Amino acid sequence: MFSKLKLITGNSNRPLAEEVSRHAGIPLGDIELFKFSNDESFVKINDNVRGADVFVIQPTSYPVNDSLMDLLIIIDALKRASAQRINCVIPYYAYARSDKKDQPRVPITAKLVADLITVAGADRVVTVDLHADQIQGFFDIPVDHLYSIPTFARYFKSIMQMEDIVVVSPDSGGANRARALAKRLNCSMAIGDKRRSGNDDQSELLNIIGDVRGQTAILFDDIIDTGGSLIKVAQALQEQGARRILAACTHGVLSGKAIEYLEASPIEKLFITNTIQLAEYKRSCKKIVQLSIAEMLAIAIKKIHIGESISLLFR
């Protein structure tokens, strides 16, 4: 049944790809991927992929442009090697926050990336927790959009008593995401009311809408980048009497001084998934707990291969 299923990975998150391979029971294909001295990338697929259903596991994480370019070159190599279908498993989709033209003379880079992947020859995309659901519509090929909410919900239920819990969205834009987790945990929710000022790394928090006093607050968002916005909400929660403050974010970008800010913040623990491979100094942060989505991806890959629905992954 799975004889035509091939798994290939680039360099952006090999540990995740290896874990997916173990769960799926499918070995990773043999691929050479390196840079010449002039900084140009080179790819060679050493396995026979003619007529195969190939899944390329390659988050477009740091270094973002290298990871994206490697993905495009891998797609082209597979297409020229006569792969029957090329499925791009992109757990973290870079440029997702550039999803609209909100200023004069700026690009919609999330759409550009979708076009590049499609034109390169991809037949399908599998991704996790897009920053904006409408990005699925940027593609002219099927997109399977998976969610980390079941993973977080199962974990929180296993380590905590589901009493005096409130799920907090850092802003109104993430309210639906927080509401979905709150529903699974059967708890209340609150929303941080903020507005941005200056560049994207600066924001001013105005208020917390909802009752958090004496409760364990779980800040829930899709991405933690520099951490500035999330930490400001955490400080406001502390001021409004939250008993404990935890945070859960699907994609741990953690750029700039994020680790330093996290260490000094009132956030007790930060739960992230392994969509992005963490550098050693980030993994050593005692506040960070990383949850794996490898089994979810392995199930999705096998079901897509045999043409079955993946809706069970949302339950």
Answer yes or no: do 113 and 167 share one domain.
no
Residue 247, pLDDT score? 98
Answer yes or no: do 16 and 136 share one domain.
yes
Among residues 96, 98, 116, 117, the alpha carbon closest in space to that of 107 is found at 98
Residue 256, pLDDT score? 94
Query: Residue 178: enclosing H or E segment and its boundaries?
Result: helix 175-185
Q: Known catalytic residue: 303?
A: no
Answer yes or no: do 69 and 202 share one domain.
no
Domain extent, residue 125, equals 5-147+294-314
pLDDT digits (tens, 9 = 90+) for 235-275: 999 999 999 999 999 999 999 999 999 999 999 999 999 99
HSE-CB for 222 with a 13 A CA cutoff: 22
pLDDT digits (tens, 9 = 90+) for 113-161: 999 999 999 999 999 999 999 999 999 999 999 999 999 999 999 999 8
Distance of CA 22 to the CA centre of its chain: 20
Answer yes or no: do 9 and 113 share one domain.
yes
Answer yes or no: do 222 and 301 share one domain.
no
What is the rounded CA–CA span in Å between residue 291 and residue 254? 16
Coil, helix or strand for 181? helix
Which DSSP category does 256 fall into? T
Q: DSSP letters along 62-83, please?
A: SSHHHHHHHHHHHHHHHHHTT-
Residue 195 pLDDT level (bands cut at 50, 70, 90): low
pLDDT digits (tens, 9 = 90+) for 7-30: 999 999 999 999 999 999 999 999
pLDDT, averaged across the chain: 94
Residue 235, pLDDT score? 94
Answer yes or no: do 204 and 287 share one domain.
yes
- β partners of residue 165: 216
Amino acid at 252: G
The single residue of 35, 100, 111, 194 carrying the catalytic annotation is 194
Residue 207 pLDDT level (bands cut at 50, 70, 90): confident
What is the rounded CA–CA span in Å between residue 23 and residue 48? 23
Residue 230, pLDDT score? 93
In this structure, are residues 172 and 202 in contact, taking their beta carbons and an 8 Å threshold? no
pLDDT digits (tens, 9 = 90+) for 285-312: 999 999 999 999 999 999 999 999 998 8
Answer yes or no: do 278 and 156 share one domain.
yes
Answer yes or no: do 179 and 192 share one domain.
yes
Please give the share of the chain, as a percent, with pLDDT higher than 90: 90
What does the buried/exposed string (b/e) look like for 281-294 if buried means 16 or more CB atoms within 10 Å of the residue's CB? Answer: ebeebeebebebbb
Which DSSP category does 100 fall into? S
HSE-CB for 210 with a 13 A CA cutoff: 25
Answer yes or no: do 64 and 127 share one domain.
yes
HSE-CB for 220 with a 13 A CA cutoff: 31
Which of 48-62, 80-94, 181-195 is the least confident region?
Answer: 181-195
Answer yes or no: do 208 and 302 share one domain.
no
Residue 313, pLDDT score? 86
Residue 299, pLDDT score? 97
Supply the CATH number for residue 38's domain. 3.40.50.2020
Our count of domains for the chain comes to 2
> Residue 270 corresponds to which tokens in the numbers above?
């930060």
Residue 204, pLDDT score? 65
Query: Residue 283: enclosing H or E segment and its boundaries?
Result: helix 280-283
Which of 88-102, 135-149, 192-206 is the least confident region?
Answer: 192-206
Answer yes or no: do 158 and 218 share one domain.
yes
Q: How many other CB atoms are there within 10 angstroms of residue 31's CB atom?
A: 18
Answer yes or no: do 266 and 197 share one domain.
yes
